[in-house]
Chain A
Amino acid sequence: MQTREREAVDRFLSDPCEERFSDLFRAIAPRILTWFRVRGCDRSLAEDLTQEVLLAVFRQARYLRNAELFRPWLYRIIKNALLQHLRRTGRRIETVQIDVAGPGPAAKQPDPLLPAEFAEWMAFLQADEREMLMLRYVDELEYHEIAEALGVPCGTVQWKIFNAKKKLAARFRPQAE
């Protein structure tokens, strides 16, 4: 966890007042917004869900006893917020087009948020590998935090990330700078 974020978390958990919540908000809200956007939510929906998540953080933080578990706890809230939204709306949300197939008549415009190459790489991976790589690189979680957030052993996370990188290396052969 980055130092600024870590400090904001510790300060807020020790005294969950509005001022400290605002500091925490500024430290983690961009990450949460990115999480929703990368998973296909449009900007407006991502903002609403981010607000919902951070309200839940404000209200439930006193039930969190171990600050070390903040990030896995946060990512479970984020995931649940999206699932609840899907249940509420009763349909699948518009997802980002990450298929590499050429554009057909019904093909959606790719999300400008995702670089084309990144989208292509993610589309090549299996869903669990994609999720783990996104948590690792976009959300910058440690391996043990990914394991906590997804409820799988840390060794499984490491193995899948390692394997996913090897698959990407074999398929796309990027050149080291």
Chain B
Amino acid sequence: MQRKNSRPDSGRRQSDGVAEHFAAARWLEYLDNPGADDAMGSHMGGCEKCRGLLNSLIAVRTQLASDATCIRAAAAGPGEIEAILERCLSGIRTGSRKIWTAAEAMLLLSVLVEPICGRGAARRTISLARHRSTPPSETVLSGRNWPLFISNLSETMTSICGAAAGQLVRQAGFSMTLQEG
């Protein structure tokens, strides 16, 4: 267990001028687990101001937690969740999302990148990113190294053409699903 300072934290002062003897993090920790901080517990015994604050914070927390439980219970019933799940699984099974081959995905990315930085720069940038993303034994991109490839390409595009171009490449790249293997 972490050792606690037995003395109140010094220099804590609120904007409303009320002196505060412990940091916010320590208060929150104590509220969640009073037994873990003996020093703060013994301070509460002797400091009326802190004890008052503690009681009011406990009351707020209790009320918030109680309301939150009601909200969660009212928001969704089990039948409703099952209905959404069915729709979701149906969407997955119909396979509305296209699975791209690496060649198709690279071609699409080239079409996206060329107007931004020119054909030559686009080819070299994509080639560099592919080189950085595949181990020496492999030369072909797949679903496994696609995220790394996109991150590298996005990084290079950011350094050449700016953050917006890098972000565009990242979003386009991660929106595509590649064949595995």
Contact = CB atoms under 8 A, between A and B. Distances in A.
Contact of B59 (A26, A47, A175): A175
Contacts of B84: 25, 29, 33, 47, 50-51, 54
B60 A30 contact: no
B72 A158 contact: no
A158 B24 contact: yes
Contact of B89 (A22, A62, A117, A162): A22
Contacts of B56: 166, 169-170, 173-174, 176
B75 A113 contact: yes
Given A22-B89, A137-B65, A169 B60 contact: yes
Contact of B71 (A50, A59, A115, A170): A115
Q: Is the interface of A mostly helix, strand, loop or mixed?
A: helix
Given A63-B147, A174-B56, A33 B76 contact: yes
Contact size range, A: 35 or more
A74 interface: no
Interface string B107-119: 0000000000000
Interface in B36-80: 53, 55-65, 67-68, 70-72, 74-76, 80
7 contacts: A31-B72, A50-B84, A54-B84, A55-B92, A60-B174, A159-B24, A162-B28
| Complex A-B, nearest 9 residue pairs according to Cβ-Cβ distance, in ascending order | A169-B56, A162-B24, A34-B75, A118-B67, A176-B59, A137-B68, A174-B59, A33-B76, A30-B76
